Structure 1
């Protein structure tokens, strides 16, 4: 029987107040040893503040931070045994790559020969050993990012903290760095906490995702749980794209919207509801026995390379459908009538007005 991974980082009742304003009312969270957890949310939700509290850059107004069961709430930054990768990389411009990576070891009084060896190993890990003698200005953005990562890992920290580390990179390089950072984290077995506003980064890189809003946790779960079973309408809208339909649930439990009776896998209470359906889960020209079918008219078509977006007028509203581009599909045109279909499981229902 496999034992559950042990808890490594715990936040207990962490709160942050600025005067009378509670930026973070009360946050409880447990991160397992060796896992990578993302804090995901819009600007101002409290994710970066939480990361800075873990790092010791900010002090909480209340609550405790524990690592391995040890209370570190009052410990200074240099005693917390954490590595941090910043959005700006924060490399020393006058030092070459090798000296940048070895700097943290020197500050910890690691002997020069050992520091040099460990720095070389860290650079090889991020595939930059051949650039050890270059200055940061001679590197690309992705290479600078890997140097910053090597510098954080070389000290063998208890926890690796990453603050929006990919936001300054172009789209293609971000994709490559996601894979590299995740591979390095898994290879080293280090516990990592990652702050991002990018849902793709959170879902593709992390074991679990904390979705935050207004200083509070809306949902904490695996990427699949957060995407497929969002706890609130906010999570559903923030993590992925959705169509929103206004509907009602009768006292008999019947769900209706856009003049149609619909089916959902959700247990429904009577009253006004918002119905959310992801665009790529809707099928065009449905001919099978879909749980939900509606008739509509194509109002616009947008080509996005690997996807085509169809806006379909249904009743008094509009539903967006995303479909992978296919050479064998007969092209639709604006004004064409279509039948849309989707499953009961893809019909997400929440109380009306929930943001």
Structure 2
């Protein structure tokens, strides 16, 4: 998986530097004898968009439901803007929610769906009308105000759900896997639109996803969860370029794993060959992780690059995947993947050929063997 940015994620997304707005302090949830979330503490800044990312069962949806008030935490505190809301009912939390299923009322028009939350708050009709018009204009659906949900596309229904959540001007916008029901093209379009709306409104937003591309491309920071614990909380650049654990490195993007050893002098060796890496290395048996698209491949007989790590191997196969060729290479007892642009396909050696795999020292990630 590759997510390209014209500038650093922090600069491109304008990471908010304001005060903490949403604070979870040692929040935990127990179902029966199962500790789903032992203890979770983190803070979300005002105007920031944060993703909870992880595999099924990691606790991300449970965390979102506790923030929303749909689940009562077993322990800990949740506060918004300095006000504790841990045990407040949903309707007293001043939050907007967008669900995976959109949850639109089929018998109501688009404008009636958007107005529903305002009517429940007993606002004046003129104010409701004005807010609904602004919200529909924001999501570019003013021309469809009189339609019923069944007459809308999936992307249009998603935008109605967003307008309904934003029209009440909530303190926090919560999104529960909002793009999972859309096709690939619509997901791409809605990622851009949701992020744009969030930045325009300046609202604090938290969303749950298992899609790494959504998290990397949309948010200011990412909470990577596993087994009810936070593995890492950082910017997209930190998560992708400096993963705290092998799990984070493998879950957020693709990685190759090679077995290595760091000797007492601090040298990293793979198959007895020295390999350069940045930073202090843990002594003993280690796992070396390198992303496939950061590696290059050439025939062993060719001139080898100077100043790069290089290891000899045997090409075992190649798969055409459109814009990339995924070449599999065996190095000692490990098999890795090297991704090269399609235009290089003609120059790829035949399977069974001796090859050399090369990469920069800065792309070498080293972890103690056996670390999760």
Asked if TM exceeds 0.5, the reply is: yes
Contact map agreement 2:313 2:354 (CA 8 A) in 1: yes
Cα deviation, residue 59, structure 1: 0.5
Aligned to 1:340: 357
- Kindly indicate whether the alpha-carbon contact (under 8 Å) linking 1:299 and 1:334 is maintained by their aligned counterparts in 2: yes
Q: Pick which of 28-37 and 331-340 moved more.
A: 331-340
Q: Give the TM-score of the pair, scaled to structure 1.
A: 0.96
Tell me whether 1:59 sits opposite 2:72 in the alignment.
Answer: yes
Taking the aligned partners of 1:171 and 1:333, their CA distance within structure 2 comes to 34
**Cross-structure match for 2:135:** 122
Q: State the Cα distance separating 1:331 from its structure 2 match.
A: 4.2
Query: Residues 10 and 29 of structure 1 are in contact (CA less than 8 Å); yes or no, is this contact kept in structure 2?
Result: yes
Provide the C-alpha distance between the structure 1 equivalents of 2:276 and 2:124, rounded to a whole number of angstroms: 67
Name the counterpart of 2:3: none
Q: 2:297 aligns with which of 281, 284, 290?
A: 284
Matches within 5 A, 1:1-355: 4-285=17-298, 287-326=304-343, 330-355=347-372
Q: Which runs of 4+ in 1 moved over 6 A?
A: none
Aligned-residue offset at 1:159? 0.2
Partner Cα distance (2:330, 2:307) in 1: 19
Partner of 2:9: none
Contact 1:241-1:279 within 8 A present in 2 as well:
yes
- The offset of 1:156, in angstroms, is 0.4
Tell me the distance in 2 between the aligned counterparts of 1:129 and 1:21.
Answer: 48
Name the CA distance, whole Å, in 1 between partners of 2:153 and 2:137. 17
Equivalent pairs counted in the alignment come to: 353
For structure 2, list consecutive stretches of 5 or more residues without a partner in the other structure: 1-15
In 2: Cα distance, 1:135 partner to 1:306 partner: 41
- Whether the aligned pair in 1 keeps the contact of 2:255 and 2:289 (CA below 8 Å) is yes
Tell me if structure 2 keeps the 8 A contact 1:259–1:315.
Answer: no
Aligned-pair distance for 1:4?
Answer: 3.8
CA drift at 1:329:
5.6
> Any conservation in 1 of the 2:259–2:334 contact (CA below 8 Å)?
no
Task: Measure the CA separation in 2 of the matches of 1:336 and 1:110.
Answer: 74
TM-aligned CA deviation for residue 212 of structure 1: 0.5
Distance 1:4 1:236 in 2: 26
Task: For residue 206 of structure 1, report the CA deviation from its aligned partner.
Answer: 0.1
Q: Calculate the TM-score normalised by the size of structure 2.
A: 0.92
**Contact 1:253-1:268 within 8 A present in 2 as well:** yes
Task: State the Cα RMSD in Å.
Answer: 1.5
Give the Cα–Cα distance (whole angstroms) in 1 for the partners of residues 254 and 265 of structure 2. Answer: 30
The unaligned stretches of length 5 or more in structure 1 are none
Contact kept, 8 Å, 2:177 with 2:209, in 1: the verdict is yes
For residues 272 and 79 of structure 2, what CA distance do their matches in structure 1 show? Answer: 54
Please state whether the residue corresponding to 1:284 is helix, strand or coil.
strand
Using the alignment, how far apart are the partners of 2:101 and 2:313 within structure 1?
48
The Cα of 1:334 is off from its aligned counterpart by 2.1
**Contact residue 245 and residue 258 of structure 1 kept, 8 A:** no
CA distance in 1, matches of 2:273, 2:341: 27
> Kindly tell me: are residues 145 and 330 of structure 1, through their superposed partners in 2, closer, same or farther at Cα, counting changes over 3 Å?
same
Q: Does the 8 Å contact 1:6/1:32 carry over to 2?
A: yes
